[in-house]
Amino acid sequence: MKHILFLLSFVILYSCKTDSKAELKAGSEESFAYDMYGLLIEEFNANNEIMKEQISDILYNKNLIEDNNAKIYDSLTTQYVAYLDNTYSELINHPKTDPSYYGGELSKIEYTNNFFFNGEDYSETGTEFISKMDNYRTEILKLVKDQNLKRRINNMLTTTLDSSIRTRDGQLIKALDYFYKDMPLISVLTRIKNKERSILEFENDFLKNLLINK
């Protein structure tokens, strides 16, 4: 976990210095920064597979196998993670992108903006993205009793930013704009995989709490 957080912090700080519209050369510092996103994605993918196996083991525990709340939570998570995986695939399988090179086309912002936005408004896929996250968060929170877990879920899956987050002219910023507008495609792909990691960790903690209270 510390390794993941270190890499993520490094990439965020470093990529802020990078002009996503500049041409990237292999071996350049800019290219290296985007390669770090790729390393994070690989690490998240490995972590997510391990977490899925752990969740499966817990679900088959004799004390949970007939638990209705466990089944509902797992079903909701499975559907939402599948949706995120599909979104990830649509983005990375764009005809002009090369998944083997984390710079180049994957460093551009156009793909992100065209996918989630229609000018200053949300596109159809952007609207769906927010709706899916809202629905998933709302439904799992109905099942969660632990207050700390609730706060973690709300923090990761919020679609409403704090009112203090505004533009320079004082306008409120919408969540999708804040996290995805004008962001390089590779950073959006990384964020999606990180979101999946958190979601699976939340389910794992939820199931463990159920076991403790049996």
pLDDT the model gives residue 100: 56
Cross-strand pairs, 166? 172
pLDDT the model gives residue 166: 67
pLDDT the model gives residue 59: 95
pLDDT the model gives residue 97: 56
Provide the phi-psi class of 165: left if phi over 0, else alpha when psi is between -120 and 50, else beta.
Answer: beta
Q: Return the closest-CA partner of residue 200 out of 129, 140, 148, 146.
A: 140
Calpha distance 67→75 (Å, rounded) = 13
Is residue 150 a contact partner of residue 141, using CB atoms and an 8 Å limit? yes
pLDDT the model gives residue 13: 37
Count Cβ atoms below 10 Å from residue 107 Cβ, excluding itself.
Answer: 26
89-103 pLDDT, tens digit per residue, is 999 887 565 555 555
pLDDT the model gives residue 92: 87
Count Cβ atoms below 10 Å from residue 122 Cβ, excluding itself.
Answer: 18
Burial class (CB in 10 A: 0-12, 13-18, 19+), 192: buried
pLDDT the model gives residue 82: 98
pLDDT the model gives residue 5: 43
Calpha distance 184→35 (Å, rounded) = 13
pLDDT per residue rounded down to tens, the chain (214 residues) = 444 444 444 344 344 434 433 333 444 455 556 678 888 899 999 999 999 999 999 999 999 999 999 999 999 999 999 999 999 999 988 756 555 555 567 888 999 999 999 998 999 999 999 999 999 999 999 999 999 999 999 999 998 876 556 667 767 788 899 899 999 999 999 999 999 999 999 999 999 999 998 7
Extract the tokens encoding 93: 């399988």
119-162 pLDDT, tens digit per residue, is 989 999 999 999 999 999 999 999 999 999 999 999 999 988 76
Count Cβ atoms below 10 Å from residue 62 Cβ, excluding itself.
Answer: 7
Calpha distance 158→87 (Å, rounded) = 18
Which residues, at least 6 apart from 84, have a Cβ–Cβ distance to it below 8 Å? 192, 195, 196, 199
Burial class (CB in 10 A: 0-12, 13-18, 19+), 191: middle
pTM above 0.75, yes or no: yes
